[in-house]
Structure 1
Amino acid sequence: MDGRESLSPLNPVPPFAVALFLVILGVEVMFTLGARGLAGGPDAVGWRSAAIQDYGFNSAIMAWMIENRAWPVEHLRRFVSYAFVHGSFTHALFAGALLLAMGKFLSAVFRHWAVLALFLISTVAGAVVYGLVIEGQPWLIGAFPGVYGLIGGFTYVMWLRLGQLGTNQARAFTLIGVLMGLQLVFGLFFGGNGTWVADVAGFAAGFLASFVLSPGGFAKLRARIRHD
Structure 2
Amino acid sequence: MNDPFQRRPEHPVNPVPPVVVLLFIAIIGIEGIFSLGKAGLVGGPSAVGWRLSALQDYAFFPAFLDYLAQSHDFDPRVLVRFVSYPFIHGSFTQAVIAGVMMLALGKFVGEIMKPVALLVIFFVSAIVGALIFGLVAPPTQPLYGAYPPTYGLIGAYSYILWVTYQRVGERAIAAFRLIGVLMGLQLLFGIFFEVGMGWVAELSGFVTGFALSPLLLPGGFARLRARLQRR
Q: What band does the TM-score fall into relative to the shorter chain?
A: over 0.9
Q: Distance in 2 between matches of 1:139 and 1:76?
A: 15
Find the counterpart in structure 1 of residue 8 from structure 2. 6
Give the secondary-structure state (helix, strand or coil) at the position aligned to 2:74: coil
- AA matched with 2:118: V
Counterpart position of 2:34:
31
Residue 201 of structure 2 aligns with which residue?
A: 198
Describe the superposition over 1:172-221 as per-residue Cα deviations: whole angstroms up to 9, x where unpaired. 10100001111111222221110000000000000000010011111111
Within-5 A mapping of 1:31-180: 31-180=34-183
- TM-score, L = length of structure 2: 0.95
Q: Deviations over 1:2-47 (max 9, x none)?
A: 3775284722101111111111111111111111222111111111
8 Å Cα contact 1:5-1:108 kept in structure 2: no
In structure 1, give the amino acid aligned to 2:138.
E
Question: CA RMSD for the aligned pairs?
Answer: 1.4
Q: Does 1:207 align with 2:210?
A: yes
Preserved CA contact (<8 Å) 1:4 1:110? no
Structure 2 unaligned regions, length at least 5: none
Q: Is the 8 A contact 2:88 2:144 kept in 1?
A: yes
CA contact (8 A) 2:133 2:200 kept: yes
1:159 deviation in Å? 0.4
TM-score (normalizing by structure 1): 0.96
Alignment of 1:177-188 (within 5 A): 177-188=180-191
After superposition, give the CA deviation of every residue in 1:125-181 in whole Å (9 maximum; x if it has no partner): 111111112123110000110000000000000000111112221111010000111
How many pairs align?
228
Give the percent of matched residue pairs that are identical in Structure 1 and Structure 2: 46
SS in 1 for 2:122: helix
Q: Is the 8 A contact 1:107 1:115 kept in 2?
A: yes
- Find the residue that maps to 1:38 and give its secondary structure: coil
Contact 1:17 1:99 in 2 (8 A): yes
Paired position in structure 2 for 1:19: 22
Gaps of 5+ in 1: none
